[in-house]
Amino acid sequence: MKKEEDFSEWYNEIVEETGLTDKRYPIKGMNVWPAYGWKTMLLIKTAIRREFDSRGHDEVYFPMLIPEDQFQKEKEHIKGFDAQVFWVTKAGSNDLDVNLLLRPTSETAMYPVFSLWIRSHADLPLRVYQIVNTFRYETKQTRAFIRVREMQFIEGHTCHATFEEAEAQIEEDLDIMRSVAADLCIPYRVIRRIEWDKFPGAYYTIGVDTMLPDGRALQIASIHQYRTNFSVPYEIFFEETDGSRKPVHQTTYGMSERMLGAVVAIHGDDKGLVMPPAIAPIQILVVPIPAKGNAESIYAEARKMAKHINSHGLRAHADERDIRPGNKFYYWERKGVPIRLELGKREIDEGFVTAVRRDSGKKTRISTSELIRELGILLKDMASSMLKRAEEEVKSKEFDVHDPSAIKDGYNRMQWCGAEQCGRKIEELSGASLLGTVSGEKCSGGKCVICGTATDNVVYVAKTM
Ligand code: ZN
């Protein structure tokens, strides 16, 4: 299946064929992670963990089950998630006294405990995160990594003494986003969600969206400012230096396996996946090219070369299977390995190796003595050209639109007065969603595309995944 012809089918095929996921598990939307997919996801988690850790956030782990009475405390939150919750109501043949639910997200698991951890000003800020699986009963059609019922989730939770400190945390979250997106070579937009589309219980929500090749927006992360919306019902109070008790200000930051879905969708081509170097389980593949009579020594050289590369902190693998080199090329190209090194007798005799880049197919001769340095340069070049190509593709999908019934595939920017009634009308006419507004983007002299009121407010409209 070609990507251009049927993106959706292409995506569904490639994620299974390349060993990223196995959808044959007998629960819809709960997929198996085979080794190649899991290794990639672990590398994404490692990149995120590094960003949190280096900024002083602590990793924690909370139980997967949440008691119903804790879940019920924040009214908006429960309304927003109620229909998606998996319940545990029995233990053996006995009904439970209090029903339990599988975490759809962990606010209601963490916050009763935060209220015990936080006593005084000295306990703030509290900045923790966890990397866990979450469960949501999705009713729309499921899709690997993008819409699943059991999801790999990274959630950061913070508590602060003031609203301003919580706002500063959100700035830091956007910093983290920049680093992680650079590793994944993914362009993204930071879009403030409109009032009726914010996270249940949030004061405001920032969506981090990326644009897929079929012109649909995909939310890959979200950041929420809670103010004291949760800390009041969950009684997360701290004692100020003057002895007064105040509720903490909270934020959360969520990222998920959707990031992997975005990587597949944005970078993959008709030959298969193209893995960003930072998250490629194998960054460099060494393929021995044997000729009659020297197979063994060439295989040994290839093994030695991979070992040498690994000892310098890069991820290399020598394919020593007894199949033709051409089949190995094809097999690993499909899995998206960034660089392939071809090593034959002539290369060994003359002290070089032939490198082939997965993204451009470009071949270069690398002198063996410069191998590690040159590989570092190639990987870096590849990452930056992957990001650049993806950014150009997104730019070609941005439109200023004045008629909501004539939207295009991609980001449609429209003038909107901000009234809910007009917003709903835009959605109805376009058949797409209001993603929200981008900080600093204004348009002078514009009129609301629905009611004609003068406005400089610009809203992003797109079909979503
Ligand atoms: Zn209007």
Q: Which tens digit of pLDDT belongs to each residue from 265-297?
A: 999 999 999 999 999 999 999 999 998 888 899
Topology at the third CATH level for domain 7-267: BirA Bifunctional Protein; domain 2 (3.30.930)
Give the C-alpha separation, 302 to 324, whole Å.
15
- Ligand 1 centre distance from Cα of residue 394 (Å): 28
Residue whose structure tokens are 């340069």: 377
264, pLDDT greater than 80 = yes
Kind and range of the H or E run holding 376: helix 371-395
Give the C-alpha separation, 67 to 200, whole Å.
19
Query: Is 398-462 a domain of CATH 3.30.110.30?
Result: yes
User: What pLDDT, in 10s, does the model give residues 173-190?
Assistant: 999 999 999 999 999 999
Of 117, 127, 145, nearest to 15 (Cα)? 145
- Ligand 1 centre distance from Cα of residue 423 (Å): 7
- Ligand 1 centre distance from Cα of residue 422 (Å): 5
Per cent of the chain over pLDDT 70 is: 100
Q: Which residues in the chain are classed under CATH 3.30.930.10?
A: 7-267
Give the C-alpha separation, 319 to 277, whole Å.
19
- Ligand 1 centre distance from Cα of residue 396 (Å): 28
Give the C-alpha separation, 160 to 164, whole Å.
9
Q: Report the sign of the C-alpha dihedral through residues 115, 117, 119, 123, in that order.
A: negative
- Ligand 1 centre distance from Cα of residue 452 (Å): 6
Q: Which residues in the chain are classed under CATH 3.30.110.30?
A: 398-462
- Ligand 1 centre distance from Cα of residue 359 (Å): 45
For residue 440, the model assigns a pLDDT of 87
247-279 b/e (C-beta count within 10 Å ≥ 16 → b): bbbbbbbbbbbbbbbbbbbbbbbeebbbbbbbb
Mean of pLDDT values over 139-153? 95
- Side-chain half-sphere exposure of 281, counting CA atoms within 13 A: 17
Mean of pLDDT values over 92-117? 96
- Ligand 1 centre distance from Cα of residue 142 (Å): 35
Give the C-alpha separation, 444 to 403, whole Å.
18
Give the C-alpha separation, 316 to 318, whole Å.
7
Which tokens sit at 259? Answer: 């990031």
- Ligand 1 centre distance from Cα of residue 405 (Å): 15
410: left (phi > 0), else alpha (psi -120 to 50), else beta? left
Kind and range of the H or E run holding 95: strand 94-102
For residue 443, the model assigns a pLDDT of 79
Q: Which residues in the chain are classed under CATH 3.40.50.800?
A: 282-385
DSSP 8-state class, residue 121: G
- Ligand 1 centre distance from Cα of residue 220 (Å): 29
Residue whose structure tokens are 């994620």: 15
* 59, β-bridge pairs: 129
For residue 442, the model assigns a pLDDT of 82
Mean of pLDDT values over 96-118? 96
Kind and range of the H or E run holding 8: helix 7-17
User: What pLDDT, in 10s, does the model give residues 60-89?
Assistant: 999 999 999 988 887 777 777 888 999 999
Mean of pLDDT values over 402-429? 96
User: What pLDDT, in 10s, does the model give residues 347-365?
Assistant: 999 999 999 999 999 999 9
- Ligand 1 centre distance from Cα of residue 227 (Å): 29
Which tokens sit at 91? Answer: 């233990």
Topology at the third CATH level for domain 282-385: Rossmann fold (3.40.50)
- Ligand 1 centre distance from Cα of residue 416 (Å): 6
Query: What confidence tier does 30 reach under pLDDT thresholds 50, 70, 90?
Result: very high
Q: What is the mean pLDDT of the chain?
A: 95
Give the C-alpha separation, 94 to 359, whole Å.
57
C-alpha distances out from residue 441 to 192, 314, 438, Å: 11, 41, 6
Give the C-alpha separation, 20 to 317, whole Å.
18
CA-based R_g, the chain, Å: 25
- Ligand 1 centre distance from Cα of residue 143 (Å): 35
- Ligand 1 centre distance from Cα of residue 154 (Å): 38
- Ligand 1 centre distance from Cα of residue 76 (Å): 27
- Ligand 1 centre distance from Cα of residue 168 (Å): 33
Q: Are 40 and 33 in contact (CB under 8 A)?
A: no
Q: Are 204 and 225 in contact (CB under 8 A)?
A: yes
- Ligand 1 centre distance from Cα of residue 55 (Å): 43
- Ligand 1 centre distance from Cα of residue 415 (Å): 8
- Ligand 1 centre distance from Cα of residue 193 (Å): 17
Which tokens sit at 325? Answer: 């080199």
- Ligand 1 centre distance from Cα of residue 458 (Å): 12
